[in-house]
Every structure is written in structure tokens, then in C-alpha cells.
Amino acid sequence: MAIIGILKEHESDSRVVALPEIVSQLIKSGFELQVETGAGARAFASDADYTAAGAKISDRNSILSKADAVLKINPLSIEDAGKMKQGAVLTAILQPFFNHDLVKKLAAGKITSFSLETIPRTTRAQSMDVLSSQATVAGYKAVLVAASNSAKFFPMFMTAAGSITPSKVLILGAGVAGLQAIATARKLGSVVEAFDTRSAVKEEVMSLGAKFVEVEGAKDEKSAGGYAVEQSDEFKQKQRQKIHDHAVKADVIITTAQIPGRKAPILITKEMVEGMKAGSVIVDLASSTGGNCELTKNDETVVHNGVSIIGNSNLPSTVPSDASKMFGKNVLNFMKLMLKDGAINLNFEDDLVKGTCLTHNGEIVNEKVKEIINK
């Protein structure tokens, strides 16, 4: 019977890759589950809950040395990667474009690793897409963080103490996080505008009750599989002017624009921040890849001329139960592609298994990663 190991995340992440309900489903499919002591504690799943679901509680080193498959949210440390069994499977968000040494270590240790954030964006993959599920959480929470840090109400109020106009919220990037942010900001009664280089999202933005800010001439790369691409300098100049005009009127800006494998584009310059009203708030969801605001500092709040720029890059961790629940369901759906009758059965004919695989049999198999690492 193959062993699946669930590891605890680092101190600043409260999520767990699989809650007891997911563990129980894996056990029912014929696997032995070993869970690291305290793995789910900060997501309110105790060791006793895992034991009741049928798992064994164990320490990290023991799990790493015995597990045939290791599941995690964040990348494994290089040291831990070296403790895994040769030929074992690792599934996590591995950020291979930023963690070259880890990729090399996994290849050298003959670990078959799957980098969940690189799953092809096909219809079949939607239920396995951890970026989407966690972006949903981040988009929702970004609005709540903005509202609690703003100097103004979000909704309009007509009271005996006078009328209050609603907050103006500008959302930059209308992907999964941006659309969720629009929906949440609308539910709180604010007036919402959104901008994205992909004009395909215009209808979705409008159907959520927001105005779509249009900039002509964006490169909308169909071959990028739903992901954004780098824009021309001329477009960036036009976009900067348009965003400037809307940013200085906004009470809240939420930025979500990312380009996979690259630094996030700067959409809010220092000059734009200086044109904003004191008491306004920017929540930058792209802070871990450099930020969409020139003044963003990852995992810090910077106050510039009275404008708060919040660069908390791990908002999903602040909703640990539901974020873990969604992450676990994604991982379970992905693992189902390779778990059969209590054994791990890798089928590289499957486009999702092949497309997500990073290292296998001593080789880096993701061509883009291989090219960058071997440069």
C-alpha cells in the first residue's frame, strides 16, 4: 500500500494542503496517510481529527523518508527535498522559475515533482487549479482588508448626520482574483471600475456591475492559454495615462496583474500615488512577484503621503479553513489522475500529468524551466 505524506507549512502560512475530509477520501481509495504533527492546527484541524479520519501522525523526517507521494502547498526546502525517497512523487506550488536550486535537487534525487501552478489551463483542469481557488480567496479578502484600512465607508449612506458618498474602487487585472474583488466590492456597496489588458473580460466585468476602463491596442495573446503577455511600450504609455486619470479619483485600488514566470508589471507609479487622496488604500496582490505599485514592499504596509500600500502576498492564509478546503479539493482531483488501486500510476499520456510535471527520472522535463536553468 503506497504511503501519502501531508507536510506542515512554514510558520507564516496557516493553511494545510489537505484537511481531514480529503485525507479520509484518499484512505478510502486504498492509501496509507501520514500527517506531520500539527500540520492542520492553524487551519483548525487537530491531530486528533486526522487520526479520526484514519491517518497516522508522524514527524517530518520520517514522512519524507517513507512517503511515496508528498503533498504540500509551498515549496519544499532544499534540505527536505534531499530527504525524500528516490522515485517518490512531490506535489506543491514549486515556483520553478524562482527556485532553481530546488529544481536541480529534485532532479538529482530522481523525484517526480509536479508544480501545481503550472497546470495547463484547460476546462478539465479547472477543478485542479490551485491558482484559481487561492486567487478567489485573495480577491475576496483584499477587499475586506482595503475596507478595514480605508478612511471612508464603502457604501453610500443617507443618515440624519448627512449623506455619505460611496467609495470608488479601482481594480487592476480582472482575472480570477480581480473578478472576485469586483464582486465583493460591489456587495459592500462601492462604485467599481476595472481594467485588464484582455478585452475578453469586459463582459464579465460589466455583468458584475462594474465599469470597464478601456485602453485601445492591447496585445491579447491567445496562444498564452488564458495567461497575460508582456505589452508594447506604446501600449504601456497609453495605459499609464489612463490608469493615472482613474487612480487619482479612487479611494481604493486593488491590483492583481501578474505575468506567469516574470516580474509583475508596474501599473501604479510613485507619481500616481502622490496624486491620490490621503486616507486611500492600495492592496497589491502581485507583491510577491515585485508588485504592481512602484512603492509596494512584499509583506509590508507602506504609508506614502497618507496612502496605505498593503503588500500582503499571502491573503489566502488569512482564511485558512476555506482556503485549505479549496486547495485540498484541487489536489485530490489532481492526484486522482495518478492514484489507482492503492498505487501511484504515472500516465504521461495525460496532458495534465505531462503538463504539470517538473522533474522525472533525474531530468527537468518542463522545457521552459529547463531552458532557463541550463542557460
Please, are residues 15 and 324 in contact by the beta-carbon 8 Å criterion? yes
Nearer to ligand NAD, 28 or 262 (CB): 262
Consecutive H or E run containing 182 = helix 176-187
Which residue type does 137 have? V
Contact yes or no for 214/241 (Cβ under 8 A) = no
> Restricting to residues 92-121, which ones interact with ligand NAD according to CB under 6 A?
121
Q: How far is the CB of 93 from ligand NAD (least distance, A)?
A: 13
207 annotated active-site:
no
Decide whether 220 or 371 has the Cβ nearer to ligand NAD: 220
217 binds ligand NAD (CB under 6 A): no
Interface stretch with ligand NAD, choices 93-101, 125-133, 184-192, 295-303 (CB under 6 A): 125-133
Known catalytic residue at 227:
yes
Binding residue for ligand NAD (CB under 6 A) from 2, 45, 137, 174? Answer: 174
Query: Which position among 25, 113, 132, 133 bears the catalytic label?
Result: 132
Binding to ligand NAD by residue 212, rule CB under 6 A? Answer: no
Residue nearest to ligand NAD (CB): 175
- d(C-alpha 28, C-alpha 13), whole Å: 28
Residue 179: CB minimum distance to ligand NAD, A? 8
Least Å distance, CB 320 to ligand NAD, is 21
State the binding string over 223-252 for ligand NAD (x if CB under 6 A, else -).
Answer: ---xxx--x---------------------
Cell 487561492: give the residue: 134
- Give min distance, CB of 113 to ligand NAD, in A: 21
Residue 71 phi/psi, 5-degree rounding, is: -115, 135
Is 314 among the residues that bind ligand NAD (CB under 6 A)? no
Q: Is 121 a catalytic residue?
A: yes
Q: Is 240 a catalytic residue?
A: no
- Backbone φ and ψ of 75, nearest 5°: -55, 150
Judged by phi (left if over 0) then psi (alpha if -120 to 50, else beta), residue 39 lies in alpha
Using CB under 6 A as the binding rule, whether residue 132 contacts ligand NAD is answered as yes
CA-based nearest residue to 197, from 135, 122, 253, 257: 257
Number of neighbours of residue 91 by Cβ within 10 angstroms = 23
**Is 266 among the residues that bind ligand NAD (CB under 6 A)?**
no
What's the rounded Cα separation, in Å, for the pair 322 and 328? Answer: 10
- Catalytic annotation, pick one of 49, 68, 129, 251: 129
Closer residue to ligand NAD, CB minimum distance, 214 or 363: 214
Q: Could you please report the per-residue DSSP string of 312-352?
A: -S-GGGGSHHHHHHHHHHHHHHHHTTTEETTEE---TTSHH
- Positive or negative, the CA dihedral 171, 262, 118, 94 is negative
Q: Give contact residues for ligand NAD (rule: CB under 6 A).
A: 121-123, 125-126, 129, 131-132, 135, 172-178, 195-198, 226-228, 231, 256-260, 265, 267
Catalytic residue numbers, as ranges: 121, 126, 129, 132, 227
